[in-house]
Structure 1
Amino acid sequence: MRVFKAIAAFMAFAVIALLGYAATRPDIFRVQRSASIKATPDKLYPLINDIRNFNTWNPFNRKDPSMKGTYRGPAAGPGAAFDFEGNSEVGKGTVSITGGTPARAVNMKLDMTEPMQAHNDIEFLLVPRGDMTYVTWTMQGPCPYLGKLMGVIFDMDKMVGGEFDMGLALLKAQAEKS
Structure 2
Amino acid sequence: MRLFKLLGISILVLGIFAFLLSLMFPSTAVVERTGVIQAPIDSVYAVVNNLKAWEKWNPWSRPDTTAQLVYSSQTSGAGASYSWQGQLNSGKVLILDSEPDKGVHYMMDIQNMRPVKGGIELKKTADGKATAIFWHMEIKLGLLPWWKLRGFLADRIYGPAMNEGLNRLNELCTHQ
TM range, smaller chain: 0.7 to 0.9
* Matched letter for residue 65 of structure 2: P
Scaled by the length of structure 2, the TM-score of the pair is 0.82
Instruction: Flag structure 1 segments of 5+ consecutive residues without an equivalent.
Output: none
1:173 equivalent in structure 2? 171
Percent pairwise identity: 22
SS at match of 1:84: strand
Aligned residues: 173
Separation (CA, whole Å) in 2 of partners of 1:61 and 1:141: 17
Q: In structure 1, which of residues 91, 94, 100 is the aligned counterpart of residue 92 of structure 2?
A: 94
* Matched letter for residue 65 of structure 1: T
Separation (CA, whole Å) in 1 of partners of 2:136 and 2:58: 14
SS at match of 1:94: strand
Shift of 1:140: 1.1
1:24 equivalent in structure 2? 24
2:79 equivalent in structure 1? 79
Describe the shift of the 1:149–1:23 C-alpha distance in structure 2 as closer, same or farther (beyond 3 A). farther
Shift of 1:26: 1.4
SS at match of 2:115: strand
Cα deviation, 1:153-172, whole Å, max 9, x if unaligned, reads 56122111221111111101
1:46 equivalent in structure 2? 46
Describe the shift of the 1:76–1:160 C-alpha distance in structure 2 as closer, same or farther (beyond 3 A). same
Q: Where does 1:2-151 land on structure 2 (aligned, <5 Å)? A: 15-61=15-61, 63-88=63-88, 91-112=89-110, 114-116=111-113, 118-129=114-125, 130=127, 131-146=129-144, 148-151=145-148
SS at match of 2:60: helix
Cα deviation, 1:65-112, whole Å, max 9, x if unaligned, reads 222210003121112111012353xx3111011112112111111123
Q: In structure 2, which of residues 152, 155, 158 is the aligned counterpart of residue 157 of structure 1?
A: 155
Separation (CA, whole Å) in 2 of partners of 1:86 and 1:169: 27
Cα RMSD, aligned residues only:
2.7
* Matched letter for residue 152 of structure 1: L
Describe the shift of the 1:143–1:10 C-alpha distance in structure 2 as closer, same or farther (beyond 3 A). same
Instruction: Flag structure 2 segments of 5+ consecutive residues without an equivalent.
Output: none
Higher normalized helix content (fraction of residues):
1
* Matched letter for residue 57 of structure 2: W
Q: Answer with 33-42 or 151-160: which moved more.
A: 151-160
SS at match of 2:92: strand
Separation (CA, whole Å) in 1 of partners of 2:62 and 2:109: 19
Contact 1:120 1:142 in 2 (8 A): yes
* Matched letter for residue 86 of structure 1: G
SS at match of 1:66: coil
Q: Answer with 59-68 or 122-131: which moved more.
A: 59-68
Scaled by the length of structure 1, the TM-score of the pair is 0.81
